[in-house]
Amino acid sequence: MLGTCLATSSHAQLVRIAEGDFTPQASVLTFSTYETNPSYDIDTATLGTVTVSFGSNFAGQTVTNDFPSTLVGSPTGPLTLLHDTNVYVSGDISNPTSPVLSGTPTFNGPISVFFSKPVAAVGLDGGFFNALNSTSIEAFSADGASIGIVTNTELGIEFFGLADASGDNVISGISFYITGPEPAGFAIDNLTFGSARELTRPPPGMTPIPEPSTYAAFASLGLVLLIVRRFHRRNAANA
């Protein structure tokens, strides 16, 4: 179910969406190969080839040396992915779809994701959470501006689905990082993304684009109404 607005910037509204709001055509990326700072070229249904890259932070953000590690600062434009610390694919006995992607230190460091082409919506499984509101996920546009930020609202594994209320392809990256007491840390898996055409219904505020068959139906209805209107006018003139 599409959620309500969580946060705003001067030009965007971030809304939460559910896992079921993505259609089967949405791209899903799992972490099945053990590697560091991975990058994948994904052939999508409507956006062409999108390169999805993973690192710890964006230019303008600083990875702290604390444990757990977190992010401070805001990205600068254009949004540029950095690897101030590594992110890597790791096993996780707390996640049923292991392996997963972890930051550094293991399960206690930030993870950032960059899309070579902006997307309308992105989702992922985050966790395993042992505390509420302990971890934040923030979305950014191509110029580094924040679109909005949300925190975990569940314990265990939680699905985070994010979209811009406009329905436009404006999400160029996200950062996921610990912002409160989280005893066991977190990792991510099953990254899902796509344009608004890969959603079962558009985010709030977006006007759906009718399918060609819908246009044809509207055209037929308009023709019928025009004939009826002319018939009534002719009868009125002959009365």
- Residue found under tokens 């932070």: 57
Instruction: Give me the domain span that covers residue 231.
Output: 210-239
Cα R_g (the chain), whole angstroms: 22
Are the CB atoms for 196 and 20 separated by under 8 Å?
no
Per the prediction, the chain carries an average pLDDT of 85
Alpha helix positions (H), the chain: 212-238
Q: Indicate whether 152 and 232 sit together in one domain.
A: no
Q: Indicate whether 80 and 161 sit together in one domain.
A: yes
Residue 152 φ then ψ, to 5°? -70, 140
Q: Indicate whether 114 and 218 sit together in one domain.
A: no
The confidence score (pLDDT) of residue 8 equals 38
Please check the confidence at residue 161 and state whether its pLDDT lies above 60.
Answer: yes
Q: Indicate whether 190 and 234 sit together in one domain.
A: no
The confidence score (pLDDT) of residue 13 equals 85
Q: Indicate whether 230 and 159 sit together in one domain.
A: no
Model confidence over 107-152: pLDDT tens digits?
A: 999 999 999 999 999 999 999 999 999 999 999 999 999 999 999 9
Q: Indicate whether 50 and 122 sit together in one domain.
A: yes
Are the CB atoms for 12 and 163 separated by under 8 Å?
no
Q: Indicate whether 204 and 222 sit together in one domain.
A: no
Angle made by CA atoms 79, 83, 89, in degrees to the nearest 5: 115
Q: Indicate whether 231 and 175 sit together in one domain.
A: no
Report which of residues 211 and 97 the model is more confident about: 97
Are the CB atoms for 140 and 165 separated by under 8 Å?
no
- What CATH number is attached to the domain comprising 75? 2.60.120
Cα–Cα distance for residue pair 193/122, rounded to 1 Å: 4
Using the 8-state DSSP alphabet, how is residue 45 labeled?
Answer: S
Q: Indicate whether 75 and 189 sit together in one domain.
A: yes
Using the 8-state DSSP alphabet, how is residue 192 labeled?
Answer: E
Q: Indicate whether 72 and 161 sit together in one domain.
A: yes
Q: Indicate whether 61 and 98 sit together in one domain.
A: yes
Domains held by the chain: number:
2
Are the CB atoms for 57 and 201 separated by under 8 Å?
no
User: What confidence category does residue 184 fall into, taking pLDDT thresholds of 50, 70 and 90?
Assistant: confident
| 3-class secondary structure, 116 | strand
